[in-house]
Amino acid sequence: MTKRISRPDLPLDGILVLDFSQFLAGPVSAMRLADLGARVIKIERPNGGDIGRTLAFAGLESDGDTLSFHIMNRNKESFAADLKNPDSLDQVWKLIEKADVIIQNFRPGVIERLGLGYEDVKKVNPKIIYGSATGYGSIGPFKDRPGQDLLAQSISGLPWLNGRVGDPPIPVGLAVADIFTSTHLAHGVTALLLRRERTGVGGLVESSLLEAMLDLQFELISSNLFDPNVVVKRGAGNSAHAFLPAPYGLYPCSDGYLAIAMTPIPRLGELLGVDLNVYVDPKSWWSEQEVIMKLLSSMLITRKVEEWLQVLDAADIWCAPVLTLPELVEHEGFKALDMTQETKRVGKDGKSEVLIQTTRSPIRIDGRTVKSEKGAPHVGEDTESIRQEFNL
């Protein structure tokens, strides 16, 4: 296992972040900053807190909060504040005066109506780095739609890239819009922190679920802008990519599935024991995609995944097993990456210890993994200690 990096060695140690966001894109962005050493204070409603405390991935909960909340809000403190209450708002403003970063993901116009928009905040704290995540940006016909992952995927056209010819649109089965947005927002915040070190000037960074999905498709959109005839035409057979020819795809073997990427068809046929020399011309890998894939499938189904891997790996063919979730977490390759960590917090009963197994930050710094044992806070858990510390 790799060594962990200690908190004082983390690059954002000493940075104070106020996290006004809820559920996924904003909280995960703040979590990424916390993983890199920032102190994150989550500003929550006194009654109920972040709605993410009740929106459960796979219906899983622990100690009164969803598993999703636990894993998205590790490394944070919680300050309970009613933003519509003048006394609470006054305390929040005192925190803002001392903060380095704000993260928020309200719908466009909401944070401004609360008097906490960027233009208001920078008058009080000109050096603030203000990170704002929305569903579709602050202008345009989509701006008032609910900022939700499936909806953003759908508007971006992403579901038409998945599946094969004849299939309906198939969305990605993970919150990719939220997750990518969180990464872009954290990236922008760290960039503005660097600029502030050079210039002393704060700034506003904005991103949205839709922009993250458009960026994810930069090759496709750029190709269409270059040549409008480039449109999505999903592949046949075992195809895994609308814009790559045979053999690129997933193939059933006798005990599972094998992924094969870019490989000359005649060479692959030779290794599998099927004559494909008629397909020497790479253009035929497009025109005869379905036929080629059927021929490959007829051979691959006859043996186990591991047997084919031995043959193909030895020939330096780009291939890999298609692992199930249980196979992944038990695999030595997964364990070698040391991708998990355990967070802890005191239970709501004040006695028990709540342990949550989750993934770590995917970043290594100076050869060491970034992990922390601090679990997600209870609503308002740190309110009194923060009041005393900051003389609120």
DSSP count for the chain of H helices, then E strands = 16, 15
> Are the C-beta atoms of 292 and 285 separated by less than 8 Å?
yes
Six token digits for residue 220: 């496709």
Determine which one of 19, 50, 63, 178 is catalytic: 178
Q: Rounded to the nearest 10 degrees, what angle do helices 149-156 and 209-216 cross at?
A: 50
The 3-state DSSP class for residue 346 equals strand
The DSSP bridge pattern shows strands 340-346 and 319-321 to be unpaired
CA 260 – CA 268 distance, rounded (Å): 10
Q: Which two tokens stand for residue 369?
A: 């993994």
Rounded-to-integer distance, Cα 38 and Cα 15, Å: 5
Q: Name the token pair of 6.
A: 């200690």
Both ends of the chain: CA-CA distance in Å?
A: 43
Q: Going by DSSP bridges, is the β-strand pair 257-260/249-252 parallel, antiparallel, or unpaired?
A: antiparallel
What is the Cα–Cα distance from 354 to 376, expressed in whole angstroms?
A: 10
Task: Check: CB of residue 35 under 8 Å from CB of residue 190.
Answer: no
Rounded CA-CA distance 230/160 in Å is: 14
Residue in the block written with tokens 């909060």: 65
Residue 337's φ and ψ, nearest 5 degrees, are -75, -15
CA distance 247 to 125: 57
Quick check: is 178 catalytic? yes
Closest CA to 57 of 23, 30, 83: 23
The residues assigned a catalytic role are: 178
